[in-house]
Chains A and B, each alone.
Chain A
Amino acid sequence: MLVGLELGYYREQGIEIEALYVRALPDMLPMLIAGQVEAAGVGINAGTLNAAGRQAFKLVADKGSLTPGHGYLAWVVRQELADSGRFRRDTDLRGLRFGITPPVEATQSMVALQRLLDSLGLRPSDVELQAMPFGDMPAALTGGAIDTAFLSEPFVTAGEQHGILMRWRGVDTIYPNLPLGLMAFSTRFLEEQPDTARRFLVAYLRSVRRYLDAMDYGRDREAVVAALTRHTEVKDPALYERMVPAGLNPDGRIDLAALAGSVEVYRANGALAEMLDLNAIVDHRYVDYALERLGPYRGP
């Protein structure tokens, strides 16, 4: 998204982007539903899917997935536990205080954690869940308020650099291709400006591909990092050299099977009252249009 903004992909499509940064998902969804924004990069949780189920907006493209090698959400362990030998293998998770973002049972982190616990023969009651945002986790690990967590970049790399935590596993190795973010278009935007919506997706997909070319293959990496440092709050170019990059589908499509798995977990956890018809809330026609224009991704 932001790479294409810097490199003029949207302008080439006759689109000016006005980027609005909001603190958290609960602030974003009302803006999208009210038509105060035409598009949003939304994190996935039960609330997002529930709102989409009311036809307030459509989910139109992938905007962040744990594709193999892109564990930008990582299982981290307090360094002290690794140094002391308390934590040496996955099953040492038992009995630890686990930091997880709220709303705990309704998050993709919980979907991944439940898969991890299942694979280890553990139950949720075998860990002590502590709800907190990513921003609080490094300090909580520092002081021992939590022992372990699913933590996102750039906090993982920064925490490692400061000796606070150890990256144990990328969550991409626990739940490959788990979607974490989606591009959503407001219903009003789709009704009133369908041509603009199509052109937006062309520019967006070009942007995604340019990002992956740079981060996965090193092509024009400096230009892409310059764009990211200019448009994001992560201003240190050196940090991009060490962080695990975000995973994105270069062909834009949302992994419906993985999303259906999340719906199942949310239902089981009581976070979703009704079964959702994903075919009614996901609209791939805009991605399909962009793919017709750009062809499938083949790498640089």
Chain B
Amino acid sequence: MSQLAVPSLLRLTGRRALPGPLALAAIALVGLLAGCAPAPVTLSKPAPAEGSTAPATVPTAAAAPSQPAGPTRTVRVALQGSLATPGCSSAWS
């Protein structure tokens, strides 16, 4: 980890070397950041449609079944990793 981290840190900080305690702290942080890196993207075949191509409508709650009927649907959800933009942190919830 440190072998990879230090050149990157030096490039970022514009220094030829970091003081000992700072270097250790920075390397520990880079380890944390690496741990936050998201997994590679994988894609699967498209989920089956529900058989309707009509424009989206939202029926009232009374018209919806209280328990889902029919086959289980797969929903693919893209979430951002922690290294991107502010919204990504909410991926934790």
The range of chain A's interface size is: 35 or more
B84 adjacent to A24 (CB under 8 Å):
yes
Q: Which residues on A sit within 8 Å (CB–CB) of B68?
A: 13-15, 199
Q: Which residue of B lies closest to A178 (CB)?
A: B86
- Contacting residues, chain B, for A96 (C-beta < 8 A): none
A3: which B residues are within 8 A, CB to CB?
93
Residues of B within 8 A of A192 (CB): 49-50, 52-53
* Known A-B contacts A140-B13, A289-B58; A41 and B25 likewise in contact (beta carbons under 8 Å): no
How many A-B residue pairs have C-beta atoms within 8 angstroms? Tell me.
Answer: 288
Chain A CB count within 10 A is highest, among B9, B18, B91, for B91
A19 to B56 Cα, complex, angstroms: 24
Closest beta carbon of chain A to B54's beta carbon, Å: 7
Write the chain A residue with the least CB distance to B91: A41
**Contact between chains at B39 and A21 (CB < 8 Å):** yes
Within 8 A of A (CB), among B10-32: 10, 12-15, 18, 21-22, 25-26, 28-30, 32
Chain A residues with CB under 8 A of B26:
138-139, 142-143, 162, 164
Taking CB atoms, residues of chain B closer than 8 Å to A283 are: 56
Given contacts A24-B84, A140-B12, A246-B93, contact A19 B33 (CB under 8 A): no
A164-B26, A180-B90 as given contacts; A43 in contact with B84, CB under 8 Å: yes
Query: Chain B residues near A196 (CB, 8 Å)?
Result: 50, 73, 75
Rounded to whole angstroms, the CA-CA distance of A3 and B90 in the bound complex is: 12
A residues near B83, Cβ cutoff 8 Å: 23-24, 133-135
Flag A206-246 by CB within 8 Å of B: 1 or 0 each. Answer: 01100100000000000000001000111100000000011
The answer to whether A20 touches B74 (Cβ under 8 A) is no
Considering only residues 1-49 of chain A, those with a C-beta below 8 Å from chain B are 1-3, 10-11, 13-25, 27-28, 31-32, 35-45
Contact A246 B85 (CB under 8 A): no
> B87 contacts which chain A residues (CB < 8 A)?
25, 41-44, 63-64, 108, 180-182
Structural contact, B8 and A139, CB atoms closer than 8 A = yes
- A292 and B60 contact, CB distance less than 8 A: yes
Among A119-127, A148-156, A253-261, A274-282, the stretch that binds chain B is A148-156
Q: Could you jot down 22 A-B contacts, CB within 8 Å?
A: A16-B72, A18-B44, A18-B77, A21-B38, A21-B39, A23-B84, A27-B41, A39-B77, A43-B86, A43-B87, A107-B85, A138-B30, A139-B12, A139-B26, A142-B26, A143-B13, A158-B32, A159-B29, A197-B56, A208-B93, A234-B82, A293-B64
Which positions in A face B, CB cutoff 8 Å?
A: 1-3, 10-11, 13-25, 27-28, 31-32, 35-45, 63-64, 72-73, 101, 107-109, 132-136, 138-140, 142-145, 150, 152-155, 158-159, 162-164, 180-182, 187, 189-200, 207-208, 211, 228, 232-235, 245-246, 248, 283, 285-286, 288-289, 292-293
